[in-house]
């Protein structure tokens, strides 16, 4: 009997606890289910948006292949508006900057590239935008700004391209020795990176045969692969 009464008391206590806390438990289960359903919907929606943005981006590329720049720019604007949070939005902005350069709108191109460089979450894309911005700044006759843009960060996998761009900028400033050094550094990186080694060789050879370049500069910049600049 004592055991029965003990179990009975326990059951009564459990029922009392359920009466007091049951609504909260049910509410918690409902909220959890709603959160899970909401997350799954959001995840599916993000995947759908990514697919749509990808398709739209490939339409841009097709338009550029067909030299339909007007349609390409219109599609880019749609991506920026409808898929602003997708990775394709930054890719589209890079294409928009390219179109601006081709149209001679260097200020617009520089502003677009700077925006991508500073705001994108993609480290590699930021470096691409930085490199292109430096080249646009050189075209704007702002070599010091271009150098500052390149020197602000490490180029990472793009370091050989950064070196070549620095060489072009220094050459434009009349610093042939500095340009040669950068070109040779870029040429060393070309052994492992995708870069136009043939063009680099031509730039290096032109400087090495330039009678106005001091011989000492030619010797100093003739570094072996792996040596520091």
pLDDT at residue 53 is higher than 90: no
Averaged pLDDT, 16-33 = 67
Q: What is the pLDDT of residue 225?
A: 36
pLDDT over 80 at 36, yes or no: no
CATH architecture of the domain formed by 48-142:
Alpha Horseshoe (1.25)
The string of pLDDT tens digits covering residues 94-139 is 999 999 999 999 999 999 999 999 999 899 999 999 999 999 999 9
221 pLDDT more than 60:
no
For residue 193, the 8-state DSSP code is S
Residue of 192, 222, 204 whose CA lies nearest to 168? 204
- How many angstroms separate the CA atoms of 14 and 111, rounded? 67
Q: Higher-confidence residue: 192 or 185?
A: 185
Contact 177, 214 (CB under 8 A): yes
pLDDT of residue 3 exceeding 60: no
Residues 63 and 79: their CA atoms lie apart, in Å, by: 14
Listed in order, the ranges of the chain carrying CATH 1.25.40 are 48-142
Q: What is the pTM of this model?
A: 0.74
Question: Is residue 53 within a helix (H) or strand (E), and if so which, with residue range?
Answer: helix 2-65
pLDDT in tens, 77-103: 999 888 887 888 999 999 999 999 999
- Cβ within 8 Å of residue 75, ≥6 positions away: 56, 59, 60, 63, 92
> What is the reported pLDDT for 213?
77
What's the whole-number average pLDDT of the chain?
82
Query: For position 47, what pLDDT does the model report?
Result: 64
């Amino acid at each position: 009997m004592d055991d029965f009464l003990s179990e009975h008391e326990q059951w009564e206590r459990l029922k009392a606890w359920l009466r007091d806390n049951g609504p909260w438990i049910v509410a918690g289960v409902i909220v959890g289910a709603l959160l899970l359903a909401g997350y799954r919907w959001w995840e599916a929606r993000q995947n759908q948006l990514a697919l749509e943005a990808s398709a739209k981006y490939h339409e841009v590329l097709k338009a550029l292949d067909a030299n339909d720049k007007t349609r390409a720019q219109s599609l880019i604007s749609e991506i920026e508006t409808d898929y602003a949070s997708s990775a394709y939005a930054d890719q589209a902005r890079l294409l928009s900057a390219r179109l601006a350069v081709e149209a001679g709108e260097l200020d617009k191109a520089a502003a677009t590239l700077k925006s991508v460089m500073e705001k994108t979450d993609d480290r590699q894309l930021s470096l691409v935008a930085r490199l292109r911005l430096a080249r646009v700044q050189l075209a704007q006759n702002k070599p010091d700004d271009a150098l500052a843009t390149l020197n602000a960060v490490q180029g990472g996998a793009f370091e050989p391209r950064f070196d070549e761009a620095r060489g072009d900028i220094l050459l434009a400033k009349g610093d042939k020795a500095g340009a040669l050094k950068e070109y040779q550094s870029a040429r060393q990186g070309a052994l492992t990176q995708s870069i136009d080694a043939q063009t680099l060789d031509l730039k290096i050879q032109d400087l090495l045969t330039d009678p106005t370049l001091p011989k000492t500069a030619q010797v100093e910049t003739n570094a072996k692969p792996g040596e520091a600049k």
